Amino acid sequence: MDPINVLVVDADAHSLQTTLSLLVGKDQLHISDTARSGYEAVAKSYACRPQVVLMEIEMETPRAGLMALREITGAMNHCRVVVYTAVQTPDVICAAFADGAVNYLTKPASAAALVRAVVQAGTGVYAIASDGGETLLKEYRRLYRLQDNLSGLLKVAMSLTASELSILRLLVNGMQPGEIERIRFIEHSTMKSHLSHIIKKFDVDGISQVVETLRAFRFFEFLDD
């Protein structure tokens, strides 16, 4: 098998040299070039057409690597991007995979782990490292639960009366039941009845739980759209 051509991208000179030291001399790899910014990464990807780009995220801007990644994967079907960075925040990891990264490793990685990730990317084997895989799994579980919860929330919302929805909207906006009674000219006993029905429909212990749930899902923003 011919060596895999690799473009190594990192704005920090010391970090770049450290990464190169892990890759240079490996028979499976050939370092085509290096780049020190997202802009340079894109330009050199067009110029030397690497099979794999090893990409840092933080360069001239905190997310310059993501922008370069999106450009490279969108324009060059032959090229696979492996992210190698110290950035470990879930939103960045998920954004990197959404933008086309095939793997995500966090610094410092062992030479074996880094070489394995680059070779897998260059040969079309997709095995996500635990660094990015754990975050993706957590995000998938979160979205799955969110979908289930949202489905249940919508079913309950469809059973609410216009008055109950109106009261909930005001509660979500920060008003207290007593204030709503005054501005809507609602008897206290009627308000208690409305709140009791709402709590029962949502199957919770108190109205504060309903309000917190609707705020978390931005329910009324969703309705207004």
Q: Which two tokens stand for residue 103?
A: 């793997």
153 found inside a domain? no
86 found inside a domain? yes
Q: pLDDT tens across 30-59, in order?
A: 999 999 999 999 999 999 999 999 999 999
CA atoms of 104 and 96, how far apart (whole Å): 8
Q: pLDDT tens across 192-214, in order?
A: 999 999 999 888 888 988 898 88
Q: Which two tokens stand for residue 123?
A: 């040969």
pLDDT at 188: 95
pLDDT at 148: 62
17 found inside a domain? yes
The percentage of residues in the chain with a pLDDT greater than 90, rounded to a whole number, is: 56
In contact, 87 and 57? CB cutoff 8 Å? yes
Question: Is the confidence at residue 172, as pLDDT, over 80?
Answer: yes
Domain count within the chain: 2
CATH number at residue 168: 1.10.10
Same domain as 186, residue 105? no
148 found inside a domain? no
Q: Which residues of 156-177 are buried (b: 16+ CB within 10 A; e: fewer)?
A: ebeebeeebeebbbbbbeeeeb
Same domain as 123, residue 166? no
CATH number at residue 79: 3.40.50.2300
Among the residue ranges 53-67, 118-132, 155-169, the one predicted with the least confidence is 118-132
CA atoms of 203 and 197, how far apart (whole Å): 10
| String of DSSP letters for 6-24 | EEEE-S-HHHHHHHHHHHT
140 found inside a domain? no
Torsion, Cα 142 144 149 151, to 10 degrees, reads 150
Amino acid at 155: K
177 found inside a domain? yes
Q: Containing domain of residue 106, as a range? A: 4-131
Query: Which of 52, 142, 147 lies closest to 101, judged by CA?
Result: 52
CA atoms of 59 and 39, how far apart (whole Å): 10
pLDDT at 146: 57
Question: Is the confidence at residue 134, as pLDDT, over 60?
Answer: yes
Same domain as 106, residue 34? yes
Amino acid at 198: I
Exposed, middle or buried, 215 (CB in 10 Å: 0-12/13-18/19+)?
middle
Same domain as 111, residue 23? yes
pLDDT at 26: 87
Q: What is the mean pLDDT of residues 175-193?
A: 94
- The overall average pLDDT reported for the chain is 87
Same domain as 87, residue 10? yes
183 found inside a domain? yes
Q: pLDDT tens across 85-131, in order?
A: 999 888 788 888 888 888 899 898 999 999 999 999 998 877 676 66
pLDDT at 43: 94
Same domain as 181, residue 104? no
Going by pLDDT thresholds of 50, 70 and 90, the confidence category of residue 191 is very high
Same domain as 99, residue 55? yes
| Cis upstream peptide for 50 (omega within 30°) | no
Question: Is the confidence at residue 65, as pLDDT, over 80?
Answer: yes
Going by pLDDT thresholds of 50, 70 and 90, the confidence category of residue 145 is low
Helices marked H in the chain? 13-23, 38-48, 64-75, 90-98, 111-122, 130-158, 162-172, 177-184, 188-202, 207-216, 219-224
pLDDT at 176: 94
- SS3 assignment, position 33: strand
